[in-house]
Structure 1
Amino acid sequence: MKMSEERLLKLSQHRAPIMEALQQYQEARVVPFDVPGHKHGRGNKELADFLGETCLHHDVNSMKPLDNLCHPVSVIHEAEELAAEAFGAKHAFLLVNGTTSAVQAMVMTACKAGEKIIMPRNVHRSAINALILSGAVPIYVNPGVQVDLGIPLGMALDEVRRAIVDHPDAKAILINNPTYYGICSNLQAITELAHAHGMLVLVDEAHGTHFYFNDKLPASAMSVGADMASISMHKSGGSLTQSSFLLINNDVSEGYTRQIINLTQTTSGSYLLMSSLDISRKNLALYGQEIFDKVIKMAQYTRDEVNQIGGYYAYSKELINGDTVYDFDESKLSIHTRQMGLAGIEVYDILRDEYDIQIEFGDVANILAYISVGDRTLDLERLVAALAEINRRYKKDPSSLFDHEYINPEIVQSPQQAFYADKEIVLLAESAGRVASEFVMCYPPGIPIVAPGERITNEIIEYINYCKDKGCFLTGTEDSNVNYINVVKEDV
């Protein structure tokens, strides 16, 4: 067999190298005198009974036959090559610290301390955490807001252009695509604009794994020539929670990116997570078009049913305006609830507590039900029936509900400066005018209401209290009850 043919066979998308290596390891009946200490589950029967012996047999340590995540040279490297081919990237990195680590690696690869990065303010907290770690300075492009729905939109091309003109020394631009709600920016135009000014394009594609595997969905980051993308494979890709990919393209250095990843990623990579990435990549590469055709069809069916109930609005491509909503992810089932007089988080709680239905999240005006190939029509009908009954039982006057979701921040210090500054704790109710040194956010989706370095205003305090009153799960503060907040200590 010629070398090129051997290479082609080795890189077949029908293969899952990590899974295959684990199977060979088990067949060899190796006696383990290494970690983990449960020794294939024999040392922790309760854990083995709970998770299953097969699971614990595959929870193993890095070793020569199984490669090493920090410096892959064999089966993990092959899995990365296969992932890169499947996603159309120059290289793909397997990550076991979640997409948070992918976002942080992107920012830290592109920017050093003091260098500027353009990004929307409605980023996930992981992006701002990356600024705290790296010392990079954010230049925020405030997203448009769909006031009727209470959701932030994508990045307007003119706003991006203005930020680039005002900050030509910025090293990169970070784009959320899609947002949690399914909103897509004009990825192609923003990428071309940034590249024309010598800036790297980083895409937080946590909710866009499926874009790579179905031609009915919006453009993916790699397809438009972006330089880096973070992929939450565990969301729509089918892998285990906390497993993700980082994709690089163009002239981004594989070696340097690996070094950046290894600053924060564990040296004890989970083979459960890595094999789940490997197997899920294989599944999507072979059957992705069919899988997401089904998901899109299920989402549209449910959207149509919900919109017949009254009081709800399950939105889709009709929001497209050619700019801040350049495209929409039709696999998303985002539903506006405010017209029936209930906040999204209230509908979320009722669904869970009274109907045993767990959806992805609820905010002050919307809910998101995450639909995947694992759903059944019967489950979708149960969701629709529950929503119809909630509308009948709980509908009320919506006039008292908060009318928007996004507050433009006033940036006083960089996130890193404020996070590490001398600080003091004050009552949230008395914090107006002070500079926050910690986050306050609803989780999910994890978009900060206020972030380190931003001035706290009465509007922000009012919004936080409203979220608390509606039952949102607030995180980010040292005070678990979010009655107090850390602020930058003022000079006296």
Structure 2
Amino acid sequence: MKKLTQHNAPVHEALEKHRLNRVVPFDVPGHKGGRGNEELTEFLGERCLKVDVNSMKPLDNLCHPVSVIKDAQELAAEAFGANSAFFIVNGTTAAVQAMVMSTCKAGDKIIMPRNVHRSAINALVVCGAIPVYINPGVNKELGIPLGMRIEDVKNAIKKHPDAKAILVNNPTYYGICSNLKEIVSLAHENNMKVLVDEAHGTHFYFGEDMPISGMAAGADMAAVSMHKTGGSLTQSSILLCGEAMNEDYVRQVINLTQTTSGSYLLLTSLDITRKNLYLNGKEIFRKTVEFAEYARAEINKLGGYYAFSSELIDNDAVFDFDKTKLSIHTRDIGLAGIEVYDILRDEYGIQIEFGDIGNVLAIISAGDRAFEIERLIGSLSEIKRLYSKDKAGMFDHEYINPEVVLTPQKAFYSEQKSLLLEDSVDQICGEFVMCYPPGIPILAPGERITEDIINYIKYAKDKGCFLTGTQDMNVEHINVVVEVE
């Protein structure tokens, strides 16, 4: 049998062979290669529908891979410098949850920054692990949370030597990176695993002069959103494991929540994207950085905006910076980031990744074109001219340190009552409140509701942030814990 190399894409090759064999389908899906749903076929294309198939022996099975999916995952592990890799079709949310649940059981402690994605706290609700939050530093000028300070990590380890793992965001949504190598060293000295949420860091593995990746830093697990900066289809992700992890146990944990009907469109996109990044990643991400650096320089010439970058590095809370991120501070022109986000989309036909209270983020990739970068820069210039105003009265921070009273699981499953938001001061929150994107909770189950937090939520609503997480779809009421034993 011929040895596979990074030039191969085993799932893609098997699927193409299956398509050319013209197999008669008497299995699911019921659209039967698109013939049973003409409108969908017209929209997505016949070729796409013909390879939207179910698991079968020639195509392997995602839950128990023994052939082509196994081969593709092994190539991915090699490409990323991992001991093993798992294809995830439930998004990086599922990969983050698998990391937490592979290392922690009910009652176990896990150290993590409080500005984690909701998927990490969701995992705590499901498995019953107890969070030990490290409150991130805050850049007061920009109002954004930063990385994990080494001193804070040391203190958390000292106070909680029985913790099983440390979870690190690397990079954050804004491009901030922590001292990952030092965190790994500290954790391993104290028999703790390191889990890295690399949702926005696929390029760290393939670009040149990038911040260090989770696997290169010696982390035990890393969740990588291939679809975000790698180029695969939305919802496709890869979970990477180091040598210390029992990959067979990790697979069992993944199968607790991942679908048994893995989409071959998503799997193939992961397979082809891994091949493309391995062969062409240096050039892809060189071009990405060039676009981002050019845009950053031009936007900073406009005045009023601040497109920040590696000048923030302090070798502590900002240990490194991801230069592919085009994060732009907007408050000095008197507009919240979400207001700039809305104007760009509604008035200029430009869709950026997100806007929050004081910043916007534009995702840059090699798939962009120079004239589109110029259009973004020109639009920001016009927005400043047409819409800028006095910034007095604007919120100046994006993150409020929470007071944790109960574990997320206990609070979420407790008896609850619904109160008007303004009547909930000093109560214990029983659900999530967050702006999406990015999906970092303003409030998580088990946290004390304060007047500052309520004012922040109301301000975010007034500015047009898309708030999610509450049972009340209008986010006028909030569920609180009835009583604490």
The normalised TM-score by structure 2 is 0.99
In 2, distance between residues paired with 1:491 and 1:320? Answer: 43
Which amino acid counterpart does residue 272 of structure 2 have in structure 1? Answer: I
In 1, distance between residues paired with 2:404 and 2:31? Answer: 49
Which amino acid counterpart does residue 89 of structure 2 have in structure 1? Answer: V
Match of 1:480 in 2: 473
Which amino acid counterpart does residue 127 of structure 2 have in structure 1? Answer: S
- The verdict on how the C-alpha distance between 1:491 and 1:87 changes in structure 2, with shifts beyond 3 A counting, is closer
Match status 1:280 vs 2:273: yes
Q: 1:182 aligns with which of 169, 172, 175?
A: 175
CA deviation map 1:38-90 (0-9, x unaligned): 00000000000000001101100000000000000000000000000000000
Match status 1:459 vs 2:443: no
Match of 1:107 in 2: 100
Q: 1:440 aligns with which of 413, 433, 437?
A: 433
For residues 45-64 of structure 1, what are the structure 2 equivalents within 5 Å? 45-64=38-57
SS in 2 for 1:36: coil
In 2, distance between residues paired with 1:410 and 1:160? Answer: 19
In 1, distance between residues paired with 2:400 and 2:52? Answer: 45
Which amino acid counterpart does residue 160 of structure 2 have in structure 1? Answer: H
Q: 2:400 aligns with which of 398, 407, 432?
A: 407
Q: 1:230 aligns with which of 214, 223, 232?
A: 223
Match of 1:244 in 2: 237
Match of 1:374 in 2: 367
In 1, distance between residues paired with 2:276 and 2:422? Answer: 51
Uncovered stretches (5+) of structure 1, i.e. residues with no partner: 1-5
Q: CA deviation at 1:11?
A: 2.8
In 2, distance between residues paired with 1:399 and 1:93? Answer: 49
Q: CA deviation at 1:491?
A: 6.4
Match status 1:339 vs 2:332: yes
Q: Where do 4+ consecutive residues of structure 1 move more than 3 Å?
A: none
In 1, distance between residues paired with 2:120 and 2:30? Answer: 35
Match of 2:412 in 1: 419
Q: CA deviation at 1:211?
A: 0.1
Match of 2:321 in 1: 328
In 2, distance between residues paired with 1:55 and 1:401? Answer: 48
For residues 53-452 of structure 1, what are the structure 2 equivalents within 5 Å? 53-452=46-445
The answer to whether the Cα contact below 8 Å between 1:307 and 1:314 also exists between their aligned partners in 2 is yes
In 2, distance between residues paired with 1:131 and 1:442? Answer: 20
SS in 2 for 1:223: coil
In 1, distance between residues paired with 2:83 and 2:452? Answer: 45
The normalised TM-score by structure 1 is 0.98
In 1, distance between residues paired with 2:82 and 2:40? Answer: 39
The answer to whether the Cα contact below 8 Å between 1:423 and 1:489 also exists between their aligned partners in 2 is yes
Q: CA deviation at 1:490?
A: 2.3
In 2, distance between residues paired with 1:162 and 1:361? Answer: 33
Q: CA deviation at 1:215?
A: 2.1
CA deviation map 1:122-160 (0-9, x unaligned): 000000000001100000000000011010000000000
Which amino acid counterpart does residue 256 of structure 1 have in structure 2? Answer: Y
Match status 1:19 vs 2:7: no
In 2, distance between residues paired with 1:272 and 1:214? Answer: 26
Which amino acid counterpart does residue 476 of structure 2 have in structure 1? Answer: N
In 2, distance between residues paired with 1:331 and 1:251? Answer: 31
The answer to whether the Cα contact below 8 Å between 2:146 and 2:317 also exists between their aligned partners in 1 is yes
SS in 2 for 1:399: coil
Q: CA deviation at 1:373?
A: 1.1
Match of 2:36 in 1: 43
In 2, distance between residues paired with 1:322 and 1:125? Answer: 27
In 2, distance between residues paired with 1:115 and 1:410? Answer: 20
The answer to whether the Cα contact below 8 Å between 1:120 and 1:174 also exists between their aligned partners in 2 is yes
Which amino acid counterpart does residue 197 of structure 2 have in structure 1? Answer: D
Between 482-491 and 181-190, report the one with greater CA deviation.
Answer: 482-491
Match status 1:10 vs 2:11: no
In 2, distance between residues paired with 1:198 and 1:125? Answer: 26
Which amino acid counterpart does residue 458 of structure 1 have in structure 2? Answer: E
In 1, distance between residues paired with 2:208 and 2:282? Answer: 7
Q: CA deviation at 1:400?
A: 1.4
Which amino acid counterpart does residue 92 of structure 1 have in structure 2? Answer: A
Q: CA deviation at 1:10?
A: 2.9
Percent identity over the alignment is 68
SS in 1 for 2:216: helix
The answer to whether the Cα contact below 8 Å between 1:172 and 1:199 also exists between their aligned partners in 2 is yes
CA deviation map 1:146-177 (0-9, x unaligned): 01101000000000000000000000000000
In 2, distance between residues paired with 1:58 and 1:383? Answer: 37
SS in 2 for 1:480: coil
In 2, distance between residues paired with 1:376 and 1:155? Answer: 35
Which amino acid counterpart does residue 251 of structure 2 have in structure 1? Answer: R
In 2, distance between residues paired with 1:235 and 1:215? Answer: 18
The answer to whether the Cα contact below 8 Å between 1:11 and 1:81 also exists between their aligned partners in 2 is no
The answer to whether the Cα contact below 8 Å between 2:208 and 2:286 also exists between their aligned partners in 1 is no
Q: CA deviation at 1:442?
A: 0.3
Q: CA deviation at 1:379?
A: 0.3
Match of 1:3 in 2: none
Uncovered stretches (5+) of structure 2, i.e. residues with no partner: none
